[in-house]
């Protein structure tokens, strides 16, 4: 239900039930006991916020001699994005490929799984505007790959089948608000596609992202009591989100030095704390691996009045999550929601308190 990092049909690993970042996966996490769901929001070329984790959409060649095509979400219209949805009436088809590609512009914090899928076209209608994005029956489908960094940090250059038991469509932010259990809070991560060599995001890119996302959230927030927080690895995005609205907390994500970036505010937890205080942000979301090496940072951030959450594959270990709670961490973003929640007999009461703390 979380990141489908290990799902494979031919690697001896069990399939995930649902693809990550879909309405079904969010509701399944809620049923398992998650008080919040975290997801990445990007903005299409026609200004529609959509849910997508990776920086790039990679289209594999139809013929071995063809070039692999990579595109950012900002290069796709909503209609093009919806063509990638995973509904299929004839079952899941998978394949493998050894085609190479350059993913050097991938986000520093994307833990991505290799995949190859055939995406079938479906009718897509956008409920944020009067303009619909409809696809003709039998429209040509796309062949996609997904790639990731291995544990050793080496880029994968072969695609493997990224299969799930049940498929679901790729949603817009508005669709997620409508389709996900209203009692579940949202951690809306604003995902940037700028390269790590770029220290400061240009103002026009900040505007392109922040305006449509805030409009989408504010369109539904007045009629909803759903807890919402914003987060981003981009310090400038966090400042803009905080300046332009006061209702929802804004949290700065930090790798704590586990991945390189030209911006020191992303590399150093101390710098992240300082920026959060300067911009009156409510807290930080720290790389769990960095916290293992720099556990004193949690106490420092809490002493400054900041909330602290963590993310990362390490959080699938219930013992480590429990230890983080003793350090003062107030929330853990995990992939194995059912496994982690089931390890805590007091999970419901703990999550209720954490939800209140984060929304405060």
pLDDT at position 99, please?
Answer: 33
Q: What is the pTM of this model?
A: 0.78
pLDDT at position 211, please?
Answer: 97
pLDDT at position 111, please?
Answer: 31
For the CA atoms of the chain, what is the radius of gyration?
20
pLDDT at position 270, please?
Answer: 97
pLDDT at position 163, please?
Answer: 59
Question: Are residues 213 and 243 in contact, defined by beta-carbon separation less than 8 angstroms?
Answer: no
Q: Which of 124, 25, 137, 50 is nearest to 83 (CA)?
A: 124
pLDDT at position 339, please?
Answer: 85
**Nearby residues of 101 by Cβ (< 8 Å), 6 or more positions away:** 58, 68, 70, 145, 147, 157
Q: Which of 286, 315, 290, 287 is nearest to 301 (CA)?
A: 286
Q: Where are the domains of the chain?
A: 1-34+55-170, 194-359
Distance of CA 41 to the CA centre of its chain: 7
Give the phi and the psi of residue 168 in degrees, each rounded to 5: -145, 160
Work out whether strand 228-232 and strand 164-166 pair parallel, antiparallel, or are unpaired. unpaired
pLDDT at position 18, please?
Answer: 75
pLDDT at position 115, please?
Answer: 25
State in words which class domain 194-359 has. alpha beta
d(CA 169, CA 12): 26
Q: What is the mean pLDDT of each run of 10 residues along the chain (360 residues)?
A: 48 65 90 91 96 77 63 91 57 33 34 25 31 38 52 47 68 96 94 90 96 96 91 97 96 95 94 98 97 96 97 93 94 88 62 45
Tokens encoding 312: 């990362």
């Amino acid at each position: 239900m979380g990141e489908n990092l290990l799902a494979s049909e031919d690697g001896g690993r069990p399939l995930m039930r649902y693809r990550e970042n879909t309405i079904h996966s969010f509701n399944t996490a809620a049923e398992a006991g998650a008080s919040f769901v975290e997801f990445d929001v990007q903005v299409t070329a026609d200004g529609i916020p959509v849910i997508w984790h990776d920086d790039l959409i990679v289209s594999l060649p139809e013929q071995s001699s063809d070039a692999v095509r990579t595109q950012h979400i900002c290069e796709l219209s909503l209609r093009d994005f919806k063509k990638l949805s995973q509904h299929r009436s004839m079952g899941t088809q998978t394949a493998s490929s050894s085609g190479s590609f350059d993913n050097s512009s991938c986000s520093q914090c994307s833990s991505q799984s290799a995949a190859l899928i055939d995406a079938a076209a479906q009718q897509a209608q956008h409920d944020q505007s009067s303009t619909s994005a409809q696809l003709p029956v039998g429209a040509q489908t796309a062949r996609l790959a997904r790639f990731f960094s291995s544990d050793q940090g080496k880029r994968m250059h072969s695609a493997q089948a990224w299969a799930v038991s049940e498929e679901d469509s790729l949603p817009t932010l508005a669709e997620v608000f409508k389709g996900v259990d209203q009692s579940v809070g949202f951690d809306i991560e604003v995902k940037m596609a700028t390269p790590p060599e770029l220290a400061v995001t240009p103002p026009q890119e900040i505007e392109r992202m922040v305006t449509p996302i805030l409009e989408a959230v504010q369109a539904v927030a007045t009629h909803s009591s759903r807890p919402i927080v914003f987060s981003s690895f981009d310090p400038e995005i966090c400042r803009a989100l905080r300046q332009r609205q006061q209702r929802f907390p804004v949290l700065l994500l930090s790798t704590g030095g586990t991945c390189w970036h030209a911006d020191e505010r992303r590399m150093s937890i101390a710098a992240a704390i300082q920026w959060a205080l300067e911009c009156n942000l409510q807290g930080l979301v720290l790389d769990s691996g960095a916290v293992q090496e720099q556990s004193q940072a949690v106490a420092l951030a809490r002493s400054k009045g900041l909330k602290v959450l963590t993310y990362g594959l390490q959080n699938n270990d219930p013992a480590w999550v429990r230890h983080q709670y003793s350090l003062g961490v107030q929330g853990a973003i995990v992939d194995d929601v059912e496994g982690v929640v089931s390890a805590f007999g007091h999970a419901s009461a703990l999550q209720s308190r954490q939800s209140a703390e984060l929304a405060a």
